[in-house]
Amino acid sequence: MGRFPGSPVAPEGIPASAGLAPGDKWAAGILAGLSAALYVRTCAPSVLFGDSGEFQFVPYILGIAHPTGYPLYVLLGWVWSHLLPWGDVAYRMNLFSGFWAALTVGMGFLLVRRFLTYVLGGGDRFITRVAAGIASAAFAVSPTFWGQAVIAEVYTLHTFFVVLVLFLFLDWLQAPLHGGRRIALALTFGLALSHHRTALALLPGMVGCFLLSRWQRVADTSAAPSRAPFPWRAGLMGLAGVLAPWLLYLYLPLRAPHVPYATLSLSPQQPLVLYANTAQGLWAHISGAVFVENLRLGSWPTAEEWMPRLATAAVGLRDQFGLVGIALALVGLARLVWMRRWPWLALTGFSYAAGVLFNLLYDIGDIAVLYVPSYLLVTLWLGLGLVTLAQAVARVSTRRVGYGVLGCSLALPLWLGMQHFPQVDRSADVAAEAMWRPILERPIPSGAVLVSNDRDEMMPLWYYQYVAGRRRDLLGLFPRIVAAPTYRDIGGLLDQALASGRPVFLVKAMPGLEVKVRLERRAALAPLVRVVGPAAAPPPAHRVDARLDDRMRLIGYTLTPGRVRAGDTVTLRLYWQPLQPLPHDYTSYVHVVDAQGNRIAQSDHRPGGVYYPTSLWKPGEQLCDVHTMTWPSTGQAGIYQIWTGMYRYPSMEPLGAAVRIGSVAVTP
């Protein structure tokens, strides 16, 4: 029978010597190098959609990123994108994420190694080193973190700071009065906060760990609590260290006058201010005021809302490490409780809970990536679970068998890597380039406005304009480009674009927008679609002026052809005008009935499709809803009535009563 040796534990749970051996540094370097090779192999080769497309051009031109600005990322990215000699700027910025991800993996190994040393009081260096390597390798190939390592994004730099803060915190705990360690921790935490606010989730864990370690020290030594005066000078220096990195935000007002897109001009009367270079504008940008509406601070989620959110978080965690990895993490967490390592349980548990709780209350499209720091904390438990498993086997067998079990655990990151590779590999992702290069080669009129319903689709255009200098005369717009209500959706955006008098094009087909605007397609400009004017012009041939439940007005209709024969295809244009905002997406219908009330022809569809449904319609605007029907070839001649209305699908709840709008004479 064998048992892994351990060194005595200091009263506060920290070994007398918790330094890193040269072997640890070599192991960290090897893991970082292997991770870097993996990330380079799977890195996206060119320009990308979305925030990645933005972060590919903003650092290169020293621009201003979307709130909260990320000045540290921009400044470091400028140096990287100008010094790195490989590939185009987009590829370099993709590699920039891989660089920080690889450093995170190497630093993560050192963090897990030190954490295990603190929890176990030293022990067998080999087993803790192998366990730390397996845990950090599993994190390296976790799909969410890996997915951020192959595209231009801010999250690998953020995760690096999370690792570094935790590592320096553990280092500082050995000597809280050491001025150098205190300043290093404060500055790093300040940099982490200035880069991404979610680093604040580490604070409950660090405070809880510090207080519990002091309490445990007093309890173990039976000493009276210290009555030494509070070290105000040290505290102020630490606070200064946390606040100093926020001076990086002075970059925004200093650079704003030179950023070409800080203010865009749709027309002389329609300026689009993306960044207001005022004190109020600076604060709004730094604080991310535009995202406040996504935080559910005013209305706590109900029990029905909690369950799917928790289920999503649980599935996300399972997808990172698999059931085996989660089981090992739970074993490590249970050991912290069993050994009563309350400081380390507080450090990891409170930080994990704070981060996950914030994510559960934050409604945003890319919320999945904000869970990455919580996955990093899980790797600490996973590493402890591996050590616990090996030690348990050694107790009932031999130390050699325990080592063998630990060696077999190397299969976990290998299996995770092979499983996640297909979904993470972006090495063939040229979708953005394939979309925009042909568009920019088209004979687009000078000064044209290009419109998309999706900001993500527009970022590659800005990259080509500001990095490659192509078609700087074009103006790419998308909903919410500014906070004004008139730009809130694609409908208001098109109104503003048409009002400018400039040529307006959709960058893709958007079925359903015909309810709002008249469109023109030309093969020479494909896939662009020309917007030639409002759909409700000319006015309807027949006036009706009927209302649906005082929320919708039917102005009139136009029926073509005017003379209908059996077997004809007829087109009915309904001219709607909302009288107040509609809370739902409604389906409109047209029913044609004979004198006995029998339905002869009908058409049902959702006007506006997915791009401009009724929930986006604005009171007072006029929209043209086109229905096409084929008259039965066996139909008889006569006069038929036309009825129309709206209902909510799938409940079939009508929007008021159906309206008889007219009749049609059918000839044989």
Distance CA(4)–CA(370), nearest Å, equals 38
Task: Classify residue 418: in a domain, yes or no.
Answer: yes
Burial class (CB in 10 A: 0-12, 13-18, 19+), 86: exposed
Tokens of 397: 């067998």
Distance CA(5)–CA(53), nearest Å, equals 52
Distance CA(451)–CA(493), nearest Å, equals 8
Number of domains in the chain: 3
Higher pLDDT, 526 or 637: 526
Residues 263 and 386 in one domain: yes
Residue 467 scores a pLDDT above 60: yes
Query: What is the phi/psi pair of residue 18, to 5°?
Result: -120, 25
Helix (H, G, I), strand (E, B) or coil at 546: strand
Residues 499 and 590 in one domain: no
> What's the confidence (pLDDT) of residue 45?
97
Task: Fill in the DSSP letter of residue 524.
Answer: G
pLDDT digits (tens, 9 = 90+) for 612-628: 999 999 999 999 999 99
Query: What is the phi/psi pair of residue 355, to 5°?
Result: -65, -45
Tokens of 333: 């967490």
Task: Classify residue 649: in a domain, yes or no.
Answer: yes
Residues 391 and 444 in one domain: no
Residues 209 and 334 in one domain: yes
> Which of 512, 534, 556 represents a domain boundary (last residue)?
534
Higher pLDDT, 189 or 236: 189
- Which DSSP string corresponds to 415-453? HHHHHHHHHH--TT--HHHHHHHHHHTS-PPTT-EEE-S
Residues 526 and 395 in one domain: no
Helix (H, G, I), strand (E, B) or coil at 193: helix
Task: Fill in the DSSP letter of residue 66.
Answer: S
As a 3-state breakdown, the chain gives helix, strand, coil percent values, each rounded to 5, of 55, 15, 30
Residues 439 and 406 in one domain: no
Residue 123 scores a pLDDT above 80: no
Q: What is the CATH number of the domain that holds 547?
A: 2.60.40.2550
Residue 6 scores a pLDDT above 60: no
| β strands within 89-199, DSSP E | none
Distance CA(44)–CA(99), nearest Å, equals 14
Cα distance between the two ends of the chain? 100
Query: Domain span at residue 504?
Result: 431-534
HSE-up (13 A, CA, CB side) for residue 649: 13
Residues 37 and 185 in one domain: yes
CA dihedral 198, 200, 202, 208 (to 10 degrees): -150
| β strands within 285-438, DSSP E | none
pLDDT digits (tens, 9 = 90+) for 551-605: 999 999 999 887 788 888 889 999 999 999 999 999 999 999 988 888 888 999 9
Distance CA(512)–CA(623), nearest Å, equals 11
- Which DSSP string corresponds to 268-337? TTEEEESS--SHHHHHHHHHTGGGGGGB-SSSPPPHHHHHHHHHHHHHHHHHHHHHHHHHHHHHHHHHHH
Residue 156: pLDDT band (50, 70, 90) is very high
Q: At what angle do helices 71-83 and 155-174 cross, to 10 degrees?
A: 110
> Which of 515, 534, 553 represents a domain boundary (last residue)?
534
Task: Classify residue 47: in a domain, yes or no.
Answer: yes
Residue 667: pLDDT band (50, 70, 90) is confident
CA 276 to chain centre: 24
Residue 19: pLDDT band (50, 70, 90) is low
Beta bridge partners of 51: none
Tokens of 426: 């972006």
| Cβ atoms within 10 Å, residue 531 | 22
Residues 70 and 190 in one domain: yes
Higher pLDDT, 231 or 294: 294
Task: Classify residue 6: in a domain, yes or no.
Answer: no
Residues 453 and 418 in one domain: no
Task: Classify residue 12: in a domain, yes or no.
Answer: no
Tokens of 408: 């077999």
**Pairing of β 504-506 and β 449-451:** parallel
Distance CA(203)–CA(190), nearest Å, equals 12
Distance CA(375)–CA(367), nearest Å, equals 14
Beta bridge partners of 534: 517
Contact 390, 127 (CB under 8 A): yes
Element holding 272 (H helix, E strand): strand 270-273
Residue 280: pLDDT band (50, 70, 90) is very high
Residues 399 and 445 in one domain: no
Residues 216 and 267 in one domain: yes
Task: Classify residue 262: in a domain, yes or no.
Answer: yes
Q: Give the CA distances from residue 99 to residues 51, 151, 543, in Å, rounded to whole numbers and listed in that order.
A: 18, 11, 66
CA-only gyration radius of the chain, Å: 31
Residue type (1 letter), 455: R
Distance CA(248)–CA(155), nearest Å, equals 18
Q: 437 CB contacts (<8 Å, ≥6 apart)?
A: none
Task: Classify residue 14: in a domain, yes or no.
Answer: no
Contact 657, 548 (CB under 8 A): yes
Residues 518 and 582 in one domain: no
| Cβ atoms within 10 Å, residue 106 | 24
Residue 352 scores a pLDDT above 70: yes
Lowest mean pLDDT, pick from 440-444, 587-591, 649-653: 649-653
> Which of 424, 446, 471 represents a domain boundary (last residue)?
424
pLDDT digits (tens, 9 = 90+) for 174-207: 877 677 888 999 999 999 999 999 999 999 999 9
Give the residue carrying structure tokens 């704070």. Answer: 354
Task: Classify residue 641: in a domain, yes or no.
Answer: yes
Q: 457 CB contacts (<8 Å, ≥6 apart)?
A: 49, 435, 478, 507, 508
